Amino acid sequence: MTHPVPPKPSAWITATARAAHQLYDAPLVLNDPLALRILGAEHEAELRADAQRQQHPLAVAMRATMAVRARLAEDSIQGVQQYVILGAGLDTYAYRESLLSMDSRLCGNDGRVYEVDLPAMQRWKRDCLCAAGIAEPEHVRYVASDFSEASLMEDLLQAGFDAAQPACFSWLGVSMYLKPDQVMQTLGDIANCAPGSSIVFDYCVQRQHLTAQEQAGLEFIAVSLAAQGEHLHSSFEPQLLEHMLRYQGFCHVEHFGPEQLGALYGAQLSGIFRLIRATV
């Protein structure tokens, strides 16, 4: 079966980096037994044959970034029955939990995972799952939504999301492709969720906070993505972003830069993209 073509190159880059992490890094930061399988047999074989290129410092750094941000988001799922993955791409969390018969991080037997993405991305994801023979668990809800249209909450509610109950949100590899007001609109929607709700998201740091090497790296990333039709539209000053989050209603804001993430997960990371965990 021919593997589907990704609508967004960045989603494929992320999935490939998570898969390569399973092959080329030890110890694993993110243990994802489905990361290779969801790529399809042909692409998995290509990745296994790509050992030399995978040793390049940029490839190593990309794998570390993708693994660490996913691990932080999954480690942050606590005490809720609802986990919402914004811009889900080929994220395998819901399918790993089901496959391994693990004790879910979601509380109770009624826990649900809501995967939010553009309609074309969701069709691609489900085609990839089908091609890989990965079943769609009953606890997964697919929510078609566009972050540029300010309809996130309405779309979630239509899919059965309970706004009266707390939820954990993961929003990785998306904010930098949106305009600042669109980023804040989504964060504002989440700030209006039930107390105890939280979000882990990454963002691009404004250039004045980067070293010369990091600035060069950001320029390389921006040019490479633009050549594939995706453009970086937003960056933030960390303390100003925290101020805006608190103004919206988040009462607890935690910053995770390369030092904090290195201490948590033992990975050496760039400071170009940073993570925040904010709680309502």
Residue with tokens 């826990």: 111
Tens-digit pLDDT profile for residues 172-210: 999 999 999 999 999 999 999 999 999 999 999 998 888
Model confidence, pTM:
0.92
Strand order in the sheet with 273-279: 140-144, 112-117, 82-86, 168-171, 198-204, 273-279, 252-256
Q: What's the confidence (pLDDT) of residue 2?
A: 53
C-alpha separations of 141 from 86, 137, 152, 164, 212 in Å: 12, 9, 14, 18, 43
The CATH class given to the 72-279 domain equals alpha beta
Instruction: Note whether 117 and 87 are within 8 A (CB).
Output: yes
Is-contact 87 171, C-beta < 8 A? yes
Buried b (16+ CB within 10 A) or exposed e, 165-189: ebbbbbbbbbbbbbeeebbbbbbbb
Q: What is the pLDDT of residues 127-137, one digit of tens each?
A: 999 999 999 99
The answer to whether the CB of 91 falls within 8 A of the CB of 77 is no
Segments making up each domain of the chain, as ranges:
72-279
| Cβ-Cβ contacts under 8 Å for 125 (sequence gap 6 or more) | 88, 89, 90, 115, 117
5 confidence band (pLDDT: 50, 70, 90): low
Q: DSSP code of 6?
A: P
The residue-averaged pLDDT of 36-59 equals 93
